[in-house]
């Protein structure tokens, strides 16, 4: 159980760190960087994401169970509505619609706890959890969260990259991470 919880938190933190844009586009503008990044996340293309990370890849390379989280991004929709460039920095305004992570984390924790007491080994728990997540998404058990967010971009070595910062974390996960942190605050 502790391993699943730690992995879940680590994956969310990893996604925050790894979401970058490494592909050069023909227009090479901030909106292309944002589109590439969000499309890679939607497809949960871990190779593409890991190759485009602007920070450390250590945590992502050591993570396990990525297949558990791939389905949660599959129905993500986004529309870039505006981009403001100021030298080597830019801010893209994006309308984002995806699974409400607060609901998802609650569901996942409930299922993970139940499975941890099922007597299954760790691999079987991982497979069963993945199956339950996929079924819940297929059955539309989660509400969608729609929000307009700003995503920071920065020009690095002549290419626009999405900045993996707190703004991006909040754009993707909404209030789920802060709510999760409050849940474990023992003060």
Question: Mean pLDDT for each consecutive 10-residue tract of the chain (187 residues)?
Answer: 48 45 53 87 74 48 55 88 95 93 86 90 89 87 90 87 79 68 48
Q: Within a domain: residue 32?
A: yes
Please tell me the predicted confidence (pLDDT) of residue 169: 76
State the Cα–Cα distance between residues 128 and 145, nearest whole angstrom: 26
Please tell me the predicted confidence (pLDDT) of residue 177: 59
Please tell me the predicted confidence (pLDDT) of residue 81: 97
Would the pTM of this model clear 0.75, i.e. be above it? Answer: no
Q: Within a domain: residue 184?
A: no
Please tell me the predicted confidence (pLDDT) of residue 67: 63
Please tell me the predicted confidence (pLDDT) of residue 149: 92
- Provide the domain limits for residue 53: 2-179
CA distances from 93 to 90, 137, 166 (A): 10, 27, 15
- Domains identified in the chain, total number: 1
């Amino acid at each position: 159980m502790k391993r699943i919880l730690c992995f879940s938190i680590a994956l969310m933190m990893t996604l925050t760190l790894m979401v970058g844009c490494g592909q050069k586009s023909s227009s090479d503008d901030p909106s292309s960087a944002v589109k590439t990044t969000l499309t890679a996340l939607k497809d949960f293309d871990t190779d593409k994401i890991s190759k485009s990370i602007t920070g450390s890849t250590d945590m992502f390379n050591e993570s396990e169970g990525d297949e558990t989280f791939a389905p949660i991004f599959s129905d993500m929709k986004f529309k870039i509505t505006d981009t403001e460039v100021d030298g080597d920095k830019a801010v893209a305004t994006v309308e984002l619609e995806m699974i409400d992570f607060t609901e998802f984390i609650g569901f996942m924790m409930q299922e993970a706890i139940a499975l941890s007491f099922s007597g299954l080994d760790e691999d079987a728990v991982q497979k069963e959890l993945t199956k339950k997540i996929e079924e819940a998404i297929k059955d539309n058990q989660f509400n969608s969260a729609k929000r307009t967010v700003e995503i920071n971009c920065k020009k690095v070595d002549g290419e626009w990259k999405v900045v993996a910062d707190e703004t991006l974390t909040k754009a993707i996960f909404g209030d789920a991470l802060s709510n999760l942190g409050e849940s474990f605050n023992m003060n």
